[in-house]
Chains A and B, each alone.
Chain A
Amino acid sequence: MYHYDDLDRDVVHNRVFQFKDQMTRFLNGELSEEAFLPLRLQNGLYVQKHAPMLRVAVPYGMLSSKQVRRLAGICHKYDRDYCHITTRQNVQFNWVEFKDVPEILADLASVEMHAIQTSGNCIRNTTSDPIAGVAVDELIDPRPYCEIIRQWSSLHPEFAFLPRKFKIAVIGAEEDRASIRLHDIGIKAVRSAAGEYGFEIWGGGGLGRTPMLASLIREFLPQKYLLGYLKSILRVYNQYGRRDNKYKARIKILVGALGTQEFSRQVEKEFERNCETDPQLTEEEFKYASSFFTAPSYQILPERHEQAGPHPEAYQNWLDRNVKRHKVSGYRIVTLSLKHEGQAPGDITTEQLHHIADLADRYSFGEVRTTQQQNIVLADVQANDLYSLWLDSEAQGLVTPTVSTLADTVCCPGGDFCGLANARSLPVNEAIQQRFSDLNKLYALGDLSLRISGCINACAHHHIANIGILGIDKKGEEFYQITLGGKTGYESAIGKVLGPSLPLDKVAPAVEKIIQLYVEQRSDETETFSSTYERLGKAAFKEQVYATDY
């Protein structure tokens, strides 16, 4: 993974120092609340319902065991012994004290971490494929590009006060595990027919009030022009993006208003000007960036060499659900699930963090990944260690064998924690999970995505779930809107609202009815929820949910 040099350290330490000064001036009354707001947001500090929330950047989801231990230390010392993995691979502390933040930032800096640009109207943490570098379907490792973008976009002088937040995701595999089309800019690393490295550039995606999938704005951009092209997009956005209405300020609205073609034309015009005069990325620079992401020292192993059984059924379930093929023979990709019953999805305790750091050291070259699905991945586990790993993690509640099932819910903190929420999301998830606690029933449904957001900010990305749930406020009461038909992966689609919103106690029964119709109507056990939904159409599902009771 990437390691800081003197420049990285200077940049991050300067920022910590600067923030400390800003905080002091704010507390002394020398800096107005209004002026402090964008400054603290650019440093990941929100004011939440109960306490300030600090969001820490995990660049493209990679963490070393040392960093994980430091996060555990922060959880213990400054928070309530747990933190939260977000849908953009970051880590959130929900109960920190304002005055402790500069110290926390200094702690983070000591392990090469920061909270720079994890919120506010600036370029946010670059996200990527959580199994980059080890995925079987990978063409190009996206992480060197992510790191270049991370550095280029961190404290960029021109783009720190944009109309609205700006998110970039990069992938290099067939399957899109980072949902690039939901991003302001989505980048797919590709090779041209002539063998040249470059990118497909997608622009104008985003969720929230007006969900939109990004459009292809450049089919092939040679890699040396990456930063010049990003600058051109950001420049057009910074000049013409709307600032009069927060809900119309994302780049998707600008792309929608201009049309993809006109937007691309403006970007190309700016790019044409800078592409030869601005410094380009050189081969040496790519090589240098790539040198941080070389393969670890894998052993030469046969593909199949599991520890001898017999093993318990629970272990077999876990192998089926939480363990994936690896591009290197004899290795596996393991997902440590953060969807243990009774735990809020994505929450992780101090103890679990320590345990995960130990597992990483013992089984996976000292590295872990955070995922958009709010789980943790150990990317390089030997197949013959799987059983020991499973035994080691069971007591920690990290082996819930439900990855990619309905129980692998993505859920934002919602009304229980978030100051922006319209409704709670955690109790909805609990109510649904109670109805699907039988594993066999769950497995019979195959892969099925459920995402729950507590308000239209859509942090849980409910629009792209097969079943999405959105909390809304109706005259002070919590109500929930269901969307069906969203998807992500090989294909992206935004779900459609099924019908009138429902009160909390009707949501889980409605989900059960939806599932029931799917199970009854699917052509066979391999037909996915999306296909059945597309085949039957929305009306059938609407009828199923609303006809009788509501």
Chain B
Amino acid sequence: MQQIIKNGQVVNDDWYLISDNETDFIPLECKKYILPLAVWMEFYPHFTLFHEKPGLLLSSEIDLNQVRSAITEAPLIVIFFASFMDGTGFSTGSLLRETFNFKGELRATGEILPDQMDYLSRCGFDALSFADLNALRQAEKMIQAREGDKAKNYQGDVQMPRTPFQQRFSKV
């Protein structure tokens, strides 16, 4: 079973990711699936064949306004990062949380770096699925290294919106 980072911990993951080209996909009973948008829409809105409502895989540059209904329905959304240099997904994640009020699990996958872990979680991603095991181990090491140390940031974020000086000027 593959492992992911969820809420800052390494956990087993029992969701199966179906890729774009699995056109003749038929769900097996008692499995949980993440489906690319097109496949997801084939089953929408009933999902009667599924034991659990499937998660939704979106590319990072998706226009969220076009998939409003899917966002409301999906228990889990996975954003695919095509490259670690392409930061579109950071805005996509933030928008899902801030504007679309998405409350389910938000997962980042694809070419993400352990060094981007903090930024991703601050943009609303509570789960990270790394492309290879080394990255996962590195991420795990980084989490352990700062155990107990609360990261300090200048600006607010999706989890804790605030302006930079809030809580500071009052102390002086």
A and B part of one assembly: yes
Q: Which residues does A use to contact B, with CB under 8 Å?
A: 5, 7-8, 10-11, 14, 18, 22, 25, 30, 35, 38-39, 121, 148, 151-162, 227, 235, 238-239, 243, 273-274, 277-282, 284-285, 287-289
* Count of A-B residue pairs with CB < 8 Å: 113
Interface string of B150-164 (1 = CB under 8 A from A): 011111110001111
Given contacts A5-B168, A288-B165, contact A279 B156 (CB under 8 A): yes
Considering the chains assembled together, what is the distance between the CA atoms of A279 and B94 in angstroms?
Answer: 15
**Which of B90, B116, B163 contacts A227 (CB under 8 A)?**
B163
When C-beta atoms are compared, the residue in chain B nearest to A160 turns out to be B119
Contacting pair B99 A273 (CB below 8 A): yes
Given contacts A14-B152, A152-B154, contact A158 B123 (CB under 8 A): yes
CB distance from A300 to the nearest CB of B (A): 29
Contacting pair B123 A288 (CB below 8 A): no
Contacting pair B115 A22 (CB below 8 A): yes
When C-beta atoms are compared, the residue in chain B nearest to A18 turns out to be B115
CB distance from A41 to the nearest CB of B (A): 10
* Residues of A contacting B169 in the complex (Cβ-Cβ under 8 angstroms): 284-285, 287-288
* Residues of A contacting B163 in the complex (Cβ-Cβ under 8 angstroms): 148, 152, 227, 279-282, 285
Please report which residues of chain B, range 128-172, place their CB below 8 angstroms from some CB of chain A when the two chains form the complex: 134, 138, 151-157, 161-166, 168-170, 172
Contacting pair B113 A35 (CB below 8 A): yes
Given contacts A285-B165, A285-B166, contact A158 B156 (CB under 8 A): no
* Residues of B contacting A282 in the complex (Cβ-Cβ under 8 angstroms): 163, 166
18 A–B contact pairs at CB < 8 A?
Answer: A11-B153, A18-B115, A22-B115, A30-B138, A35-B84, A38-B84, A154-B154, A157-B119, A157-B123, A158-B157, A160-B119, A162-B87, A235-B95, A243-B85, A243-B88, A277-B98, A288-B165, A289-B165
Considering the chains assembled together, what is the distance between the CA atoms of A287 and B169 in angstroms?
Answer: 9
- Report the interface size class on chain B: 35 or more
* Residues of B contacting A151 in the complex (Cβ-Cβ under 8 angstroms): 154-155, 164-165
When C-beta atoms are compared, the residue in chain B nearest to A153 turns out to be B155
Considering the chains assembled together, what is the distance between the CA atoms of A287 and B86 in angstroms?
Answer: 38
CB distance from A242 to the nearest CB of B (A): 11
- The reply to whether the CB of B92 lies closer than 8 angstroms to some CB of chain A is yes
Decide if the interface of chain A is mainly helix, strand, loop or mixed: helix
Interface string of B76-98 (1 = CB under 8 A from A): 00000000111110111011001
CB distance from A27 to the nearest CB of B (A): 15
Considering the chains assembled together, what is the distance between the CA atoms of A85 and B90 in angstroms?
Answer: 33
CB distance from A275 to the nearest CB of B (A): 13
Q: Which residues does B use to contact A, with CB under 8 Å?
A: 61, 84-88, 90-92, 94-95, 98-99, 113, 115-116, 118-120, 122-123, 134, 138, 151-157, 161-166, 168-170, 172
CB distance from B116 to the nearest CB of A (A): 8
**Which of A14, A148, A279 contacts B151 (CB under 8 A)?**
A14
Contacting pair A279 B166 (CB below 8 A): yes
Contacting pair A157 B165 (CB below 8 A): no
**Which of B115, B123, B164 contacts A148 (CB under 8 A)?**
B164
When C-beta atoms are compared, the residue in chain A nearest to B160 turns out to be A279
Contacting pair A158 B84 (CB below 8 A): no
* Residues of A contacting B85 in the complex (Cβ-Cβ under 8 angstroms): 38, 121, 161, 243
Decide if the interface of chain B is mainly helix, strand, loop or mixed: loop
* Residues of A contacting B161 in the complex (Cβ-Cβ under 8 angstroms): 278-279
Contacting pair B94 A158 (CB below 8 A): yes
When C-beta atoms are compared, the residue in chain A nearest to B159 turns out to be A157
Contacting pair A7 B122 (CB below 8 A): no
**Which of B61, B91, B164 contacts A152 (CB under 8 A)?**
B164
* Residues of B contacting A11 in the complex (Cβ-Cβ under 8 angstroms): 152-154
When C-beta atoms are compared, the residue in chain B nearest to A9 turns out to be B152
When C-beta atoms are compared, the residue in chain B nearest to A5 turns out to be B168
* Residues of A contacting B118 in the complex (Cβ-Cβ under 8 angstroms): 157
Given contacts A148-B164, A151-B155, contact A159 B138 (CB under 8 A): no
* Residues of B contacting A22 in the complex (Cβ-Cβ under 8 angstroms): 115
CB distance from B159 to the nearest CB of A (A): 10
Considering the chains assembled together, what is the distance between the CA atoms of A11 and B99 in angstroms?
Answer: 28
**Which of A7, A235, A289 contacts B154 (CB under 8 A)?**
A7
What would 5 more interface pairs be, CB under 8 Å, given A158-B90, A160-B116, A285-B163?
A: A18-B115, A155-B153, A160-B119, A243-B86, A284-B170
Considering the chains assembled together, what is the distance between the CA atoms of A7 and B164 in angstroms?
Answer: 10
Contacting pair A238 B113 (CB below 8 A): no
* Residues of B contacting A30 in the complex (Cβ-Cβ under 8 angstroms): 134, 138
Considering the chains assembled together, what is the distance between the CA atoms of A277 and B155 in angstroms?
Answer: 16
Considering the chains assembled together, what is the distance between the CA atoms of A10 and B168 in angstroms?
Answer: 14
Considering the chains assembled together, what is the distance between the CA atoms of A152 and B134 in angstroms?
Answer: 33
* Residues of A contacting B162 in the complex (Cβ-Cβ under 8 angstroms): 279
Closest CB pairs A-B (n = 10): A161-B87, A288-B169, A157-B122, A151-B164, A10-B152, A157-B119, A151-B154, A238-B91, A158-B90, A285-B165
Listed residue (A14, A39, A158, A239) with the most chain B CB atoms within 10 angstroms of its CB: A158
* Residues of A contacting B92 in the complex (Cβ-Cβ under 8 angstroms): 239
CB distance from A123 to the nearest CB of B (A): 11
Contacting pair A155 B154 (CB below 8 A): yes
CB distance from A249 to the nearest CB of B (A): 11
**Which of B87, B115, B138 contacts A238 (CB under 8 A)?**
B87
Contacting pair A7 B152 (CB below 8 A): yes
Considering the chains assembled together, what is the distance between the CA atoms of A17 and B62 in angstroms?
Answer: 35
CB distance from A161 to the nearest CB of B (A): 3
Contacting pair A238 B88 (CB below 8 A): yes
When C-beta atoms are compared, the residue in chain B nearest to A235 turns out to be B91
Considering the chains assembled together, what is the distance between the CA atoms of A162 and B88 in angstroms?
Answer: 7
When C-beta atoms are compared, the residue in chain B nearest to A158 turns out to be B90
Considering the chains assembled together, what is the distance between the CA atoms of A127 and B172 in angstroms?
Answer: 27
CB distance from A115 to the nearest CB of B (A): 16
Contacting pair B165 A238 (CB below 8 A): no
Considering the chains assembled together, what is the distance between the CA atoms of A151 and B85 in angstroms?
Answer: 23
Considering the chains assembled together, what is the distance between the CA atoms of A162 and B90 in angstroms?
Answer: 10
Contacting pair A158 B91 (CB below 8 A): yes
